[in-house]
Structure 1
Amino acid sequence: MNEEEKTKQVRAVLFDVERKDDDPIELLRMFEICVQMADKVSARRQTASSYFLTMSTFLVGLVFGATGADLIDSLTAFFLSASGIAVSVMWSRSVKSYGDLNTGKFAVINELEKTMVARPFAAEWEYLERGESKDRYRPFRAIEIQIPRMFGLLFSGFCAVKAWDAIGGFFCA
């Protein structure tokens, strides 16, 4: 489904209520609620990302610190690193899911905004060249998604080294 079809579908669902006239106060209230909900989704995404960052940082410190001090064996370090990979995957999916949810919310907000005299979000999006110019605008999600990927690569590399140590130790013993 292309963007135009998605917009028509959103508009059809949004204005599916039969009414005699469009009450501007009612539309403004709906608009305010939608904007507040989009802000809340962003806040929840930030809270979730903070949690995943804390978990990942803790696991990195645990794995590297305990391994460096010879407090854990290679197999334990392997499994801790594997859990770090799982955290990174969940974090990436969380970022994508919250971003998709906000994209949907802004589709609704943009449709509601078409009923208003002023359209600040549409004007902002036009100013940002509809996201087509990377010099003018780069979505935060594109940057944010790189952090769990970097942690995932770090954990994957450490996992591979510890697997090699465990296998090498097994064959050399």
Structure 2
Amino acid sequence: MAGISDLLWNQDIGASAYREGPTGSVQYQSAVIEQYKLCVEMADRVSARRNLANTFFLTLNSGLVAAFGAWRSGRSGNGLPVLLLLAGLVVLLGVCAAWWFTVRSYRQLNEGKFKVIEALEERLPARAFVAAEWNALEKGQNWRVYLPLVHVERWIPLTFALAYVLGFAALVR
């Protein structure tokens, strides 16, 4: 199977495909740098969208819990039908599952983008963004140096789901 670099570089287009003479090479390098900048910008946008998705799911979960609490406090008596509680639990767990898969999807998308950025850096004078920075951060393997956000954010939906299951168990006792 072809590697990222093999798939990234168009073998039919090189510095010779640009204007003849010494400026052809300069134009080619300029095109590579512009594509690199675009890829880095798109990776940053994916991260921003991931943060918005996390904010949406956190707000949704908080709103659903607040609405349930307000609805429950307005009712006289303690008993709620178990089927109603179970339906609410299923909805909440569904939201948590959607959140978890969304975080996972954004992580996978960014991993692909960073592989492309790393392959682009092979043709640049400095490999600062992926190669140098990632190695300086020990590739996220030492939490004292750098703890990647994805390691934290993937546990949040699971924590909410566990809290919902425990809350359900407490309410049906």
Q: TM > 0.5 between the two?
A: yes
Percent pairwise identity? 32
Aligned pair count? Answer: 158
CA positional deviation for 1:30: 0.7
Between 1 and 2, higher relative CO (CA 8 Å, sep ≥ 6) is seen in 1
Matched to 1:124, the amino acid is E
When residues 62 and 69 of structure 1 are mapped into structure 2, their CA distance, relative to the original with a 3 A threshold, is same
Asked whether the equivalents of residues 59 and 80 of structure 1 are also in contact (C-alpha less than 8 Å), the reply is no
Which of residues 17, 34, 40 in structure 2 aligns to 1:29?
34
Q: 2:148 matched to which residue of 1?
A: 139
The reply on whether 1:9 has 2:3 as its aligned counterpart is yes
- How do residues 82-161 of structure 1 correspond to structure 2 at under 5 angstroms? 82-121=90-129, 122-161=131-170
* Alpha-carbon distance, 1:25 to partner: 0.6
- SS of equivalent to 2:3: helix
Per the alignment, residue 48 of structure 1 pairs with: 53
Unaligned stretches of 5+ in structure 1? 166-173
Unaligned stretches of 5+ in structure 2? 16-24
Cα deviation 1:96-149 (Å, max 9, x = unaligned): 100110011001001101111122112111111122222211110010111111
Structure 1 moving runs of 4+ over 6 Å: none
The RMSD of aligned alpha carbons is 2.0
Matched letter for residue 93 of structure 1: F
- Residue in structure 2 matching 1:58, options 58, 63, 72: 63
Contact 1:82 1:155 in 2 (8 A): no
Do the aligned partners of 1:113 and 1:119 also contact (CA within 8 Å) in 2? yes
Q: Distance in 2 between matches of 1:132 and 1:59?
A: 36
Give the Cα separation in 2 of the matches to 1:132 and 1:91: 24
Name the amino acid aligned to 2:119: E
TM-score, scaled to structure 2: 0.82
- Structure 2 distance, partners of 1:20, 1:38, is 25
